[in-house]
Amino acid sequence: MAVTEEPWRTWPEEGRTAQPERPPRWYMRRELHLLVGIAVAVLTVLFAGQRATADARAQLDARLVQAGAGADAALVGIEAEQLNVVRAVEFTQGVAQALANRDGPALNRLVTPLQANSNVPMVDVVEPDGRVLLAVRAKGAPAPVASRKGLKALQLSLAGAHGVRGGRLSEVVIYRSGPTLLTVGPLVLAGRPVGAVLAMTPLADVLGRIAEEVGVELTAYDSLGDPIATTARFDPKPIEPVVAQTLIGGGAIVTRYDWADHREKLGRLVVDHQPDAVLGAALEDDTNVTGRIVSIYVALGLLCTALLLGTFWARVALARRRAGP
């Protein structure tokens, strides 16, 4: 050190080497801050997309469950229509007598107008042994058959003619023409059942009519899990027999994908207040598209925010440089 006239002041000697600048701490590096920012942005985009997908899927599931309940309720209405036809035939004077006399023309004159004034496409009048004496069909309905012999519902109806319900019952039956919703009631003459009337609608038509009301794809499965009728444009996958029987027995609703990305809720198909089959309600699951769109929106928002902040920082830095030290 050089001593000046004022000993308390000293000046650094010329030629003194400057101390090297210490490198910044690792947590102060710009590269680290940039990587952390990018990671936070990516995680934000992913989280937003997944949350949007989960919310959309929850809404889809709720819609399918509601549609399944609506389908069961609509089925009750169709059962009521068939029951009205059965009761109308039962209480029409002369029908039971014409059946006992095997008078086909008289039956045709009495029963055909009742079927024509209803929404039921198929009405059969049968003898106790199942022989079909009269078959009335709407346009496009399956062709008549000569006999319904062996139909369990027919025997139950005749046996319960004097029961609380008067022998009237509904169920899903499998004919050669396909699965059918059947409502049957006995025809009684002088206290003795002389036959029965069958009001029927193909199950595919029933599901098609209900599907228009609830706005989903509907599929009915038998107790073995095989699809028996559907409104879908594809063949749904069968259900495991154990799962089908559990559902019919009152098990919890099952969720699955029955084909590609069609999400399906499986529950009970209730006919005449009894579980008779499995009902599936399905819709195409496009919730991933919703998630991707939300992710894109969030990414664009973050990118625009970063550009605005970067532009602001650049203007501040430029202004400081112009202002000088």
Q: What is the DSSP string of 129-186?
A: T-BEEEEEE-TTSPPP-SB-TT-HHHHHHHHTTTSTTTT-EEEEEEETTEEEEEEEEE
- Domain parsing of the chain, residue ranges: 54-215
pLDDT at 8 over 70: no
Report the distance separating Cα 210 and Cα 71, nearest Å: 6
Q: Pairing mode, if any, of strands 169-175 and 178-189?
A: antiparallel
Query: How many CB atoms sit inside 10 A of residue 67's CB?
Result: 22
Q: What is the pLDDT of residue 321?
A: 82
- Position 315 scores a pLDDT of 84
**Candidate from 40-44, 57-61, 245-249 with smallest mean pLDDT:** 40-44
Looking only at the bridges linking them, the beta strands covering 178-189 and 192-202 are: antiparallel
pLDDT band at 18 (very low <50, low <70, confident <90, very high): low
pLDDT value, residue 302: 86
In angstroms, how far is CA 315 from the centroid of its own chain? 56
| 218-224 average pLDDT score | 96
Confidence of residue 280 (pLDDT cuts 50, 70, 90): very high
Six token digits for residue 193: 């059942």
Which has more confidence, 75 or 306? 75
Task: Quick: pLDDT tens for 81-129.
Answer: 999 999 999 999 999 999 999 999 999 999 999 999 999 999 999 999 9
pLDDT band with cut points at 50, 70 and 90 for residue 179 = very high
Residue 75 has pLDDT above 80, yes or no: yes
Place of tokens 């035939």: 89
Give the separation between CA 197 and CA 158, rounded to whole angstroms: 11
Spatial separation of the C-alpha atoms in residues 248 and 267, rounded to whole Å: 8
Is there a contact between 127 and 99 (Cβ–Cβ < 8 Å)? yes
Residue 275's closest CA among 220, 315, 226?
220
Q: What is the pLDDT of residue 324?
A: 65
Dihedral pair phi/psi, residue 24, rounded to 5°: -65, 155
> Can you give the pTM of this predicted structure?
0.81
Coil, helix or strand at residue 222: coil
Query: What token pair was written down for 61?
Result: 């599931």
Residue 154: per-residue pLDDT: 96
Contact assessment for residue 221 and residue 227, using Cβ atoms and an 8 Å cutoff: yes
Candidate from 21-30, 53-62, 196-205 with smallest mean pLDDT: 21-30
Whole-number CA gyration radius for the chain? 39
What pLDDT band is residue 11 in, cutting at 50, 70 and 90?
A: low
CATH topology of domain 54-215: Beta-Lactamase (3.30.450)
246-250 contacts, C-beta under 8 A, 24 or more apart: 247/278, 248/223, 248/275, 248/276, 248/277, 248/278, 249/275, 250/275
* Low-confidence winner among 108-117, 144-153, 185-194, 300-309 (lowest mean pLDDT): 300-309
pLDDT of residue 116: 94
